[in-house]
Amino acid sequence: MVAGWGRGCRTAICRLWPLGLACWLAPAWAERLVLYYEQRPPYTEFRDGALTGLLGKPAMQAVQQLGIELDLRESPFNRHMALIDKNLEYACAIGRYKTEQRLGRGKFSQAFYRDQPYVAIMRSDNGRAGAVTELQPLLGTAGLRFGFREGYAYGEVLDVWIATSRASLVRLPESNANLVRMVYRRMLDVVLLSGEEAEALLASMPEERAKLIMRHYADSPPGAYRYFYCSRQVDDALLQRLDAAINLHRPTGTGGSNP
């Protein structure tokens, strides 16, 4: 590898492939992109030596086209988001929602996945929550205890509904799986999850599943798009190449053009 000599320089990175030696130019300070994920089935799951899942698989298909060294790291959500927000690393996180706050701190790729609409998980014997037939009025029900992941966004429309909710909002540094367990144990009344994550979690909890129900609502907003969220250190040229790779590998019906 040819060493760079300053922040504005370019470095030649070479890698041996089956058909010969391939070389490319990359910023001297960016020979390795840190790629953060959290273990969160069905979205991201490291299994059999590879990152897979609804977000993990298409994300890896895209970044492997970039021709740079990758440092794949599992890290808690709040920890790696703080590193990216503070611009402390040449790094991206897989599958984050786009919010105004994050736009002021980092950079986003094109969308590469779209969630299913949100559903509510509650106990089947929770008559008060079960009697409400729409999601916005459910969030407006005073006294119901909603569990949310600390630091998570829930999509543009839902974030507004949550901010103006009359319910009791409990934000915890817990996994969504643990929030569902808290509903089962009557510590919470409702947890909101995307349809695909709700189905996967309930399928993995047969004991809890017997007492829980998943409610769909006609007024639930369309699912939000998911992106790579990157620190400001990540140069625009790399993001343009990442966008091109996303477009090349985008599965049908999971994102369309950049919203």
197-232 residue pLDDT tens: 999 999 999 999 999 999 999 999 999 999 999 999
Residue 135 has pLDDT above 80, yes or no: yes
Query: pLDDT higher for 20 or 187?
Result: 187
pLDDT (0 to 100) of residue 16: 34
Phi, psi of 44 (to 5 degrees): -135, 130
Q: What is the average pLDDT score of the chain?
A: 88
Binning pLDDT at 50, 70 and 90, where does residue 257 land? Answer: very low
CA distance linking residue 55 with residue 145, whole number of Å: 29
The reported pLDDT for the residue numbered 249 is 76
Mean pLDDT in residue range 164-184: 97
Say if residue 37's pLDDT is above 60. yes
d(CA 36, CA 81): 9
Give pLDDT tens digits for 50-73: 999 999 999 999 999 998 999 999
Check whether 78 has a pLDDT greater than 80: yes
Instruction: Name the residue type at position 33.
Output: L
pLDDT at residue 251, rounded to an integer: 58
Structure tokens at 250: 């985008």
Determine what percent of the chain is predicted with pLDDT higher than 70: 84
- φ/ψ of 209, rounded to 5, equals -60, -30
- Residue 255: the pLDDT is 45
pLDDT at 5 over 70: no
pLDDT of residue 31: 67
User: Mind listing the pLDDT tens digit for each residue in 86-98?
Assistant: 999 999 999 999 9
Binning pLDDT at 50, 70 and 90, where does residue 26 land? very low
Whether pLDDT at 253 is above 80: no
